[in-house]
Amino acid sequence: MPDYKYSTLAVHAGQYPDPLTGAVNVPVYLSSTFELTGIGTDKGWDYSRAGNPTRDRLEEALAALEGGTSGHAFASGMAAIYALVATLHTGDHVICSHNVYGGTQRLFNLVVRNYSIAIEYVDTGDLKAVEAAIKPNTKLIHIETPTNPIMSLTDIAAVSEIAHAHGVEVSVDNTFMSPVLQSPLGLGADIVMHSTTKFLNGHSDGLGGAQGAVSAGAEGGGRNSFALRVLPGAARHQDAAAAHEGA
């Protein structure tokens, strides 16, 4: 992608004519399955949960808009958050902003804790409290800034610096700011996520979630492609098209 200004990037990211037909808008490929070209070979897609050309374009756009090198589109914001924690292990410890979106808290408290993954809610606006909460088994600090609905703020750069000094990854729920107003990866976070249902889509006509990782080699990127393949949370092609149009 050329070095566009942000507004130009928003128009062009993932938007180019369809190589097959020349269609200038991203076609919605309503196909669950793709013909193989031989045994073990295909034209880039085999099954839409693992990858769909329409979803790919949204993922490209999200990665470009967030300044990451990989993007992953999920069926909802909750699916994206679930994927974030689904590949953690029993005994791991997660620090989470203390007044994150209620659905995130329900997922963490009622589901994730059942896998003996410890979730500790901390006022992540208080950097001393963040550092004091880090344990040898802390794997992730999940920040929402501003939080929904109280609008508490966290200094993403400062928390990322503390986390990385302890070998801990940082994920940021950027739903309320959108990549236009806040760039968590640019501030040092490892993973950024969204409910694209909200501002990224902007038209209230689709449900979706997304994650972008800071680099293709970052654990988050690999983990998310794995999560899309094995977990029940990949974005539907129609929702991906709607979110892409909004983004």
Active site residues: 49, 101, 173, 198
Q: To the nearest whole angstrom, how small is the minimum distance from the Cβ of residue 182 to ligand PLP?
A: 12
Q: To the nearest whole angstrom, how small is the minimum distance from the Cβ of residue 198 to ligand PLP?
A: 6
Neighbours of 7 (CB within 10 A): 9
Nearer to ligand PLP, 178 or 197 (CB): 197
Q: To the nearest whole angstrom, how small is the minimum distance from the Cβ of residue 225 to ligand PLP?
A: 20
Nearer to ligand PLP, 34 or 59 (CB): 59
Nearer to ligand PLP, 48 or 195 (CB): 195
**How many whole angstroms separate alpha carbon 23 and alpha carbon 150?**
44
Task: State the greatest distance between any 2 C-alpha atoms of the chain, in Å, as a whole number.
Answer: 58
On whether the CB atoms of residues 181 and 48 are closer than 8 A, the answer is no
Nearer to ligand PLP, 160 or 174 (CB): 174
**Whether the bond into 149 is cis, omega within 30 of 0:** yes
The site for ligand PLP (CB under 6 A) is made up of: 76-78, 101, 103, 144, 148, 173, 175-176, 195, 197, 207, 209
Q: To the nearest whole angstrom, how small is the minimum distance from the Cβ of residue 108 to ligand PLP?
A: 12
On whether the CB atoms of residues 221 and 215 are closer than 8 A, the answer is yes
On whether the CB atoms of residues 221 and 193 are closer than 8 A, the answer is no
Q: Which residue's beta carbon is nearest to the bound ligand PLP?
A: 77
Break the chain down into helix, strand, coil percent, rounded to 5: 35, 15, 50
